[in-house]
Structure 1
Amino acid sequence: MTFLFSAVLAHFVLEEKLHIFGVLGCALCVVGSISIVLHAPQEKPIHSVKQVWQHATQPGFIVYTFLVLIVVAVLIFRYVPRYGHTHMVVYVGICSLMGSLTVMSVKAVGIALKLTFSEMNQFKYFETWVFVLVVTVCCVFQLNYLNKALDTFNTAIIAPVYYVMFTIFTILASVILFKDWESQNGAQIVTELCGFITILSGTFLLHKTKDMGNDASKDKDPPLVESPNHVDTPSNTDSHR
């Protein structure tokens, strides 16, 4: 619900108006998210950092990681200079793609901390420090481009779009890494896909109508200003008496 509160606070605190289609887009995102959460696959128990490393070094996740890095590089060097200030998907896409790698690494670091506090030191393994490095680098990228997105576009629109894209890529990365959907039946998968479609519909609506509030404000008639040329002057008819 973070994106919903962000949109509401941006509307009232920052005075970045959220029009009726923005409200509808947020509602669709909420409904889709609830559908996905209620039918999400059960997470497999992870007992060590080395177990996460084994999953992360499988061919499927390695391919996903390389694809993410390639797409992010293309977005940064090719599309940010051209479309960064006109298409919010460019900045948000960079944050979301890097965020999917961040979450996977944060999970490994969290497991390492938990086991270390239980007197099973995980920081003696180089795998733990690799995950720490990935978290640091990805967070720097996310903060940089998320701040650029918030400086350029309406916060009330960026919040839900970022939430949706971040969630989609994170779930995709988790599915590839841990293969969580292997234990699900067809009905659960179809329901989750419907939730994804609902979320994408809300995101599309938000993106297509992001400038509606600004256009409405521009169309307002400017205030009438009295012309300075029309100034009453006293008559000089009696000056030659």
Structure 2
Amino acid sequence: LWWAGLLCMGVGEAANFAAYAFAPATLVTPLGALSVLVSAVLSSAFLNEQLNVHGKIGCILSILGSTVMVIHAPQEEEVSSLESMAEKLKDPGFIVFAVCVLVSSLLLIFVAGPRYGRSNVLVYVLVCSAIGSLSVSCVKGLGIALKELFAGKPVLKEPLGWVLLVCLVICISVQINYLNKALDIFNTSVVTPVYYVLFTTAVMTCSAILFKEWQHMVLDNIIGTISGFLTIVCGIFLLHAFRDMPFTPDLLPLFL
């Protein structure tokens, strides 16, 4: 059973990696909320964990928000080769963003962490989210490299692919380390929704700067994407914040 679970996790991560190669990060990252939804439903079905009315409403909101995002998210990919990826990485806007992420992360780790890390959930979660936005960009680049490799292009001779791989390993190591620190100190029901909101916001910001995914979107699609994301946020909050509250539909008349 353990090996089956490990295999399923591997398949899921491989599919997630492939999604970043073929779809905009603005669409893929928010849809990660569906994994939280599926986990909650399966835990209720197979592990006898309670899923109260707040959790069910949260699941419905997450599905609705995801549907809205799929409809309104950018449909075309701006980057299709490592050469174009290299040009994107040289963009002054992304360089400024990356420097701000690194400087703010160092300040959070070495200045704010020792003082407020055990009392404020935002400290370590902000580190995870900021560094995570860079890791998603690395995954996007590596996905493009793999597509070119399968197409028969000499990708292994390109230094950019190896640089992205090293950066990805470093970013994921930092991300996992400080996410585990946050989970050790604070309750999972607090860390999970906060991390989802901050991480997704950071990734969408990074994608908007690096890949210009929002540049060709019309106003109604921009509003739809943001509305879908906020709906998912509300659903995740309801699913986690009220997980242990013994609230059932039978008690609803008492609150009316």
- Superposition TM-score, scaled by structure 1 size: 0.72
Aligned match of 2:141: 108
Cα–Cα, structure 1 residues 206 and 137, in superposed 2: closer, same or farther, change >3 Å?
same
1:163 CA drift (Å):
2.4
1:188 corresponds, among 212, 221, 238, to 221
**Structure 1 portions without partners, runs of 5+:** 215-241
1:29 CA drift (Å):
5.1
Aligned match of 1:124: 157
Secondary structure of the residue aligned to 1:77 is: helix
Secondary structure of the residue aligned to 2:155 is: coil
In structure 1, what is the Cα distance between the partners aligned to 2:149 and 2:102?
Answer: 31
Q: What one-letter code is carried by the residue in structure 2 that aligns with 1:63?
A: V
1:36 corresponds, among 38, 63, 69, to 69
Aligned match of 1:48: 81
| Count of residues in Structure 1 that have an aligned counterpart in Structure 2 | 211
Secondary structure of the residue aligned to 2:105 is: helix
Secondary structure of the residue aligned to 1:179 is: coil
Secondary structure of the residue aligned to 2:74 is: coil
- Superposition TM-score, scaled by structure 2 size: 0.68
- Verify the 8 A CA contact 1:161 1:206 in the aligned structure 2: no
- Verify the 8 A CA contact 1:31 1:198 in the aligned structure 2: yes
Residue pairs, 1:3-18, within 5 angstroms:
3-6=36-39
- Verify the 8 A CA contact 2:79 2:211 in the aligned structure 1: no
1:78 corresponds, among 111, 123, 143, to 111
In structure 1, what is the Cα distance between the partners aligned to 2:94 and 2:233?
Answer: 24
Q: For residues 47-77 of structure 1, what are the alpha-carbon distances to aligned partners after superposition, in whole Å with 9 as ceiling and x for unaligned?
A: 3212111111101111111111122112112
Deviates more, 1:75-84 or 1:99-108: 75-84
Q: What one-letter code is carried by the residue in structure 2 that aligns with 1:37?
A: V
1:99 corresponds, among 132, 135, 144, to 132
Aligned match of 2:102: 69
Q: What one-letter code is carried by the residue in structure 2 that aligns with 1:154?
A: N
Residue pairs, 1:13-24, within 5 angstroms:
none
* Structure of greater Rg: 1
1:18 CA drift (Å):
8.0
In structure 2, what is the Cα distance between the partners aligned to 1:163 and 1:32?
Answer: 14
Secondary structure of the residue aligned to 1:123 is: helix
In structure 1, what is the Cα distance between the partners aligned to 2:123 and 2:62?
Answer: 20
Q: What one-letter code is carried by the residue in structure 2 that aligns with 1:96?
A: S
Deviates more, 1:91-100 or 1:197-206: 197-206
Cα–Cα, structure 1 residues 177 and 5, in superposed 2: closer, same or farther, change >3 Å?
same
Q: Which has the higher helix share?
A: 2
User: Are 1:147 and 2:166 an aligned pair?
Assistant: no
Aligned match of 1:59: 92
1:98 CA drift (Å):
0.9
Aligned alpha-carbon RMSD (Å): 3.1
Q: What one-letter code is carried by the residue in structure 2 that aligns with 1:79?
A: A
Q: What one-letter code is carried by the residue in structure 1 that aligns with 2:103?
A: I
In structure 1, what is the Cα distance between the partners aligned to 2:39 and 2:125?
Answer: 15
Cα–Cα, structure 1 residues 83 and 200, in superposed 2: closer, same or farther, change >3 Å?
farther
Cα–Cα, structure 1 residues 37 and 78, in superposed 2: closer, same or farther, change >3 Å?
farther
Q: For residues 26-50 of structure 1, what are the alpha-carbon distances to aligned partners after superposition, in whole Å with 9 as ceiling and x for unaligned?
A: 6655544443232101232533212
Residue pairs, 1:210-229, within 5 angstroms:
none
